[in-house]
Structure 1
Amino acid sequence: MKHRQLEAFQTVMVSGSTVRAAELMGVTQPAVSRLIAELENSVRFPLFDRVQGRLLATPEARLFFREVEASFRGLDRLRAAAAAIRDHGSGVLRFGCFAAGSVDLAPAAIRAFRARHPRVRLTLHVTWSSAIRDGVVDGTYDIGLAADEIDQSGIVSRPFYVHAGQIVMPAGHPLARHETIRPEHLAGVPLLGLVPEDRARQRMDAVLLEAGVTPEYIVETPNSATICALAISGDAVGLVNPIVTGRLPADVVLRPFVPQVQFRSLLLFPAHVQKSLLLKDFEGELLRFRSTGGR
């Protein structure tokens, strides 16, 4: 039993004659008759009787036709599904993102992606970088954006961005008069810091200690955006990832820190899993917005 034989049978059943079926299939009438005969040999019961010059389907053929129709409808659905996936995309994309990337970058990339793939459901989960890494490993996330302090075993990672950290402070802070902030400027100054396991925090502490400055942290948080919010009032300052500084209020200012303390992030993917077209498109949107932080 071959697909071409079933196609000839279905076409004859719908059109009512082998002549019309031949026209629809783009073949000769004898070719259609031969396909029907081959199918009868395969199923081992007659499909048509010729009565007074007309081709009439047997009762067995009508029963068989129901199954053939169901099979062809299934093929049509498969073709439609393939076209939808190819032309529009469908399904779910799961994205794990660390806090700094979720402020402007991730929303901008998601908006641009959804404009092209409105039928795709995209989930965004903001959490710790280590949890993002674990989620990529166990299949919770299709793609992750994380800081570089993670264990990179068991995943595929690629560098995403490297940004020089900046010092955020209230607009009226004494340090605001400096064009750049150096380690010695922070001696005795209350600091807003990232958590100790953060690589940028560790790099910052190393720079301060090398300059003979003992950091005096009064608040620690995993989120640069929180440091910006805490700096609005009071006398504390903090090193922040510039990716979160796109919408700072007028009563806080930023100053470059010298020597540079870099914030580094990684894109994470499951190991041994091919990227889907949708995932490649979303990765492209993230890369497009990485230099501007989503702005």
Structure 2
Amino acid sequence: MNFRQLEIYQAIMLSQSASRAAELLGITQPAVSRALAELEHGLGFLLFERVRGRLRPTPEGQLFYHDVAASFTGLDRLRMAAARIRDFGSGSLRVASLAAYGSTVVPRALRGFRRLHPGTVVTLQVMSSPLVREVVASGQFDLGIAADEVDLAGIPYRACPEEQAVCAMPAGHALAALAEIGPADLHGQAFIALAPEDRARQRLEQLLDAAGSRPQVVVETPASMTVCALALQGVGVGVVNPAAAEGFIERGLVLRPFRPAVAFKAFLLFRPDIQRSRQVKALARLLLQEARLG
């Protein structure tokens, strides 16, 4: 089995015809048939049934093609990576972030990064913290920002500056008249809660339990940004990471400090399998700087 045989096999699968595959590859039909026969002989099973002069994939051939197609997808990614290096000179970076920082801290850091490394193409994806940890730990992404519920074992990291929680509410809400919000103030209030696994929510619930306060949970969501959007629509109040509230105040959202303080903690995660490049170090420095300023 060799690459050329697999290339011919893929062309047959895509075109469903040996003659058409030959046209696509710019070779003769006998060359296609010979390569297919050699591939089947090497594999030990038939890839196609010959039915009235046409090629119909066998069940084994269909199963085998899933892996072949995945391999060619990997090659396409390599070609794209090579093209980026050729066209932009400095390669690329892949960054994953939890939602709270993905539309605030990270864009500000990338603004400064672009000035330092204009030739580096950056891919940014916003995802859940556990998934951020997974894609960085597996080497799919170069850098990630995740909340403190993730397992840090086996992955290099740096702690980001903590954010102190604020209470988000719509304009005109009764709690907006208070200078700051405490656990007792949330008792009986329609409340938009973060996901149960969120460590900041767990820290908040400890304070609520100690005060005997029982908010009425009306919505649960994993993202502080979504809490802000729901609060703005009058669904309820919520305790959020202030980094996620940027842009909502201008639209009418009211924020009040929450006391006692509830910390939102995040970590900058690095790939464990390679040394950090100059670009990764530069972006990490800017991310920590922007998180501190934010």
* TM-score range normalised by the length of the shorter chain: 0.5 to 0.7
Q: Shift of residue 216 of structure 1?
A: 1.8
Name the aligned partner's letter for residue 291 of structure 2. Answer: R
User: Within 1, Cα distance between the matches of 2:126 and 2:220?
Assistant: 19
Kindly provide the CA deviation profile for residues 36-84 of structure 1, in whole angstroms up to 9, marking residues without a partner as x. xxxxxxxxxxxxxxxxxxxxxxxxxxxxxxxxxxxxxxxxxxxxxxxxx
Percentage of matched positions with identical amino acids: 43
Structure 2: tracts of 5 or more residues without a match = 1-84
* Cross-structure match for 1:197: 197
Give the 3-state SS of the residue equivalent to 2:232 in structure 1.
coil
Contact conserved, 1:89 with 1:117, CA < 8 A, in 2? no
Aligned with 1:161: secondary structure? coil
Counterpart for residue 132 of structure 2: 132
Query: What is the RMSD of the two structures over their aligned residues, measured on CA atoms?
Result: 1.6
| CA deviation after TM superposition for structure 1 residue 206, in Å | 1.2
State the partner residue of 2:219: 219
Letter in 2 for 1:232: L
Note if 1:168 corresponds to 2:172. no
Aligned-partner SS, 1:144: strand
TM-score (norm 1): 0.67
Q: Does the CA-based 8 Å contact 1:89-1:278 persist in structure 2?
A: no
Distance 1:89-1:262 versus aligned 2 partners, 3 A rule: farther
Q: TM-score, length-normalised on structure 2?
A: 0.68
Question: 2:22 maps to which residue?
Answer: none
Deviation, structure 1 residue 272:
4.9
Distance change (3 Å), C-alpha of 1:290 and 1:89: farther
Which has the greater radius of gyration? 1
Structure 2 counterpart of 1:242, one-letter code: P
Aligned to 2:210: 210
Answer whether contact 2:97 2:146 (CA < 8 A) is retained.
yes
Residues 193, 217 of structure 1: 8 Å contact kept: yes
Report the Cα distance in structure 2 between the residues aligned to 1:250 and 1:276, rounded to whole angstroms: 40
Contact preservation (8 Å) 1:159, 1:267: yes
Partner of 1:39: none
* Conservation of the 8 A alpha-carbon contact between 1:136 and 1:268: yes
In structure 1, C-alpha distance between the alignment counterparts of 2:230 and 2:273, rounded to whole Å: 42
What's 1:178 paired with? 178
Amino acid at match of 1:283: A
**Counterpart in 2 of 1:151?**
151
Distance 1:198 1:170 in 2: 23
Structure 1 residue runs of 4+, over 6 Å off? none
Residue type of the alignment partner of 1:227: V
